[in-house]
Amino acid sequence: MAHGDKSIVDRIAAILEKEGFQVITAFNGIEAMVKSLREHPFLAIIDVALPKIYGFEVCKRIKERKETSDVKVILITSVYDRSKYRRAPSTTYGADEYIEEPEIEERLIEKIKQLGETVKSEPEKEEAVKPEPPVKEEIKETVQKPVEEKAEDEGIKRARRLVRTILSDIALYNPGQVEEAIERGTFRESFQNQLKEGLKLYQMRIPQEVRDRGDFFNEEIERFIEEKKKSLNKQ
């Protein structure tokens, strides 16, 4: 399972382990991609707002690759405004199921069982001899030559995660419009109302002392645009 928040990773791992499942964890999109290729799990539980590569993009790549197309995927949607989204996302990027974060304790195991498999752990000796699938060059290069990143405290991580949640909501509920706006270079203009609402929420939830340390809101918007551009160019 992949999530950028360790407390949520621990929470979900505890639920799964209690049911006898073997849990492999990841904390960002690159790690999730690499582990899905190397471990080939039956099921991947992925947060949409993962750092480095958005979870919905990870899901799409897993489903598009021949080696991992049979991996079942449950997306965790971190809806930032529950009163606004009382409908299913417009797309789940090939995921087999999705679950909202507040429903994890109540519905995760039920949803796994609905996928038609028990997902019990494999014997350790079989894990040890599993052949390692080839890793795409762009993923391999990122792992071998990681970009230097400054260590960030929890306040900054929380700020970035909130912005990624806002952006992932826009992408999940407006997929076609987002792609069109990215291709035309008009993402900010096309979604100015949603971004304005998101900024208000950001200013409410993120303390001023954290916001004074950097323009994390606009940094994450630029990262999102660049990630989507790269994704669209590969299609």
**189-197 average pLDDT score:** 95
Q: Domain check: are 189 and 212 in the same one?
A: yes
Q: Domain check: are 86 and 12 in the same one?
A: yes
**182-208 average pLDDT score:** 95
Residue 190 lies in a domain: yes
Residue 128 lies in a domain: yes
Domain that holds residue 106: 6-139
Residue 1 lies in a domain: no
* Structure confidence at residue 78 as a pLDDT band (50, 70, 90): confident
The per-residue pLDDT for 109 is 94
Of 138, 1, 178, nearest in space to 74 by CA: 1
Q: Domain check: are 116 and 205 in the same one?
A: no
The per-residue pLDDT for 152 is 77
The per-residue pLDDT for 117 is 54
* Structure confidence at residue 81 as a pLDDT band (50, 70, 90): low
Q: Domain check: are 18 and 125 in the same one?
A: yes
Residue 54 lies in a domain: yes
Residue 147 lies in a domain: no
**201-209 average pLDDT score:** 95
**56-72 average pLDDT score:** 93
User: Which residue matches tokens 């230097």?
Assistant: 148
Q: Domain check: are 117 and 190 in the same one?
A: no
**Which of 70-84, 86-100, 130-144, 149-163 has the lowest average pLDDT?**
130-144
Domain count, the chain: 2
**Which of 105-109, 119-123, 170-174, 220-224 has the lowest average pLDDT?**
119-123
Residue 154 identity (one-letter amino acid): E
Last residue of one domain, picked from the residues 104, 139, 174:
139
* Structure confidence at residue 89 as a pLDDT band (50, 70, 90): confident
> Which residues have C-beta within 8 Å of that of residue 65, sequence separation ≥ 6?
37, 136
Residue 144 lies in a domain: no
Residue 94 lies in a domain: yes
Residue 38 lies in a domain: yes
The per-residue pLDDT for 218 is 97
Spatial separation of the C-alpha atoms in residues 134 and 29, rounded to whole Å: 17
Q: Domain check: are 28 and 135 in the same one?
A: yes
Q: Domain check: are 120 and 187 in the same one?
A: no
CA 112 to chain CA centroid, Å, is 18
State pLDDT tens for residues 142-182. Answer: 444 444 445 678 999 999 999 999 999 999 889 999 999 99
State pLDDT tens for residues 8-55. Answer: 999 999 999 999 999 999 999 999 999 999 999 999 999 999 999 999
Q: Which residue has the higher pLDDT, 106 or 81?
A: 106
Q: Domain check: are 69 and 166 in the same one?
A: no
The per-residue pLDDT for 83 is 60
Q: Domain check: are 131 and 163 in the same one?
A: no
Q: What is the CATH number of the domain that holds 96?
A: 3.40.50.2300
Q: Which residue has the higher pLDDT, 125 or 229?
A: 229
pTM of the model: 0.79
Last residue of one domain, picked from the residues 139, 168, 191:
139
User: Which residue matches tokens 């621990």?
Assistant: 10
| Residue 66: pLDDT over 60 | yes
Q: Domain check: are 126 and 181 in the same one?
A: no
Last residue of one domain, picked from the residues 107, 139, 171:
139
Q: Domain check: are 18 and 77 in the same one?
A: yes
How high does pLDDT run on average in the chain? Answer: 84
Q: Domain check: are 133 and 158 in the same one?
A: no
Secondary structure string (H, E, C) spanning the chain: CECCCHHHHHHHHHHHHHCCCCCCCECCHHHHHHHHHHHCCCEEEEECCCCCCCHHHHHHHHHHCCCCCCCEEEEEECCCCCCCCCCCCCCCCCCCEEEEHHHHHHHHHHHHHHCCCCCCCCCHHHHHCCCCCCCCHHHHHHHHCCCCCCCCCHHHHHHHHHHHHHHHHHHHHCHHHHHHHHHHCCHHHHCHHHHHHHHHHHHHHCCHHHHCCCCHHHHHHHHHHHHHHHHHHCC
